[in-house]
Amino acid sequence: EVQLAQSGAEVKKSGESLKISCKSSGYSFSNYWIGWVRQMPGKGLEWMGIIYPGDSDTRYSPSFQGQITISVDKSISTAYLQWSNLKASDTAMYYCARHPSGYDRSPFDYWGQGTLVTVSS
Amino acid sequence: EIVLTQSPGTLSLSPGERATLSCRASQSVSSNYLAWYQQKPGQAPRLLIFGASNRATGIPDRFSGTGSGTDFTLTISRLEPEDFAVYYCQQYGSSPPRTFGQGTKVDIK
């Protein structure tokens, strides 16, 4: 069974750094693109970026380029989303989600449960 | 960047009624790479439709997707109580970002 298990809720201050995780199981992690989606409180879904664990090929939305870093650790089937300088506007729920193939032009078929990040000023 | 505009913003219907949700793209969606997701409060989104008209695994046949180019529709033929939720379209045919629409909320009348 495919599962994406995300790390727990975080409360941080502006200017701090943060790395949240998404541990995959039930499939061959290296062979499927995995991405991150932001949902600000009461708002819609925003596509942030994706990564191919096999070779760490990464694609970012221009809206998030330079603000976040997406990475993986293949040895533990885990994807990461990190910030080096959090802002209050980063307060949101963050979802990881998997593409159903090695082709990045595909929808997200499995989703993590979400990680709530709260940043206070 | 392709902008997806969903309408209406909110659809108020009763169980058993038909729901018709629209998603319009600012430019043609390559290969009709358009997906629909359902999101209930406190839950992650769930994939319903991909490739504009293909139901994802385990999705009931009361959900159907149609359309091509710039105009797409999600139809729920007879609303069940569990279908009241927010629905998002997403295009995944263009270079990043693979944008989402702003969502349509289907609530109980």
| B45-74 exposure pattern, b = at least 16 Cβ within 10 A, e = fewer | bbbbbbbbbebbeebeeebbbebeebebbb
Average pLDDT over residues A39-67: 96
Give the CA diameter of chain B. Answer: 39
**Percent residues over pLDDT 70 in chain B:** 100
With pLDDT > 90 as the criterion, what percentage of chain A qualifies? 95
Cβ-based interface (< 8 Å): residues of B facing A: 1, 30-31, 33, 35, 37, 39, 44-47, 50, 56, 88, 90, 92-93, 96-103
**Residue-wise pLDDT tens digits, A54-95:** 999 999 999 999 999 999 999 999 999 999 999 999 999 999
pLDDT band at A101 (very low <50, low <70, confident <90, very high): confident
Here the tokens at position A121 are 């000023």
Q: Report residue B95's pLDDT band, with 50, 70 and 90 as the boundaries.
A: confident
Q: Which amino acid is at B66?
A: T
Residue A95 parent element (H or E): strand A92-98
**With contact defined as beta carbons under 8 Å apart, do B60 and B48 qualify?**
no
Note the pLDDT of residue A117.
98
Collapsing DSSP to helix, strand or coil, B10 comes out as: strand
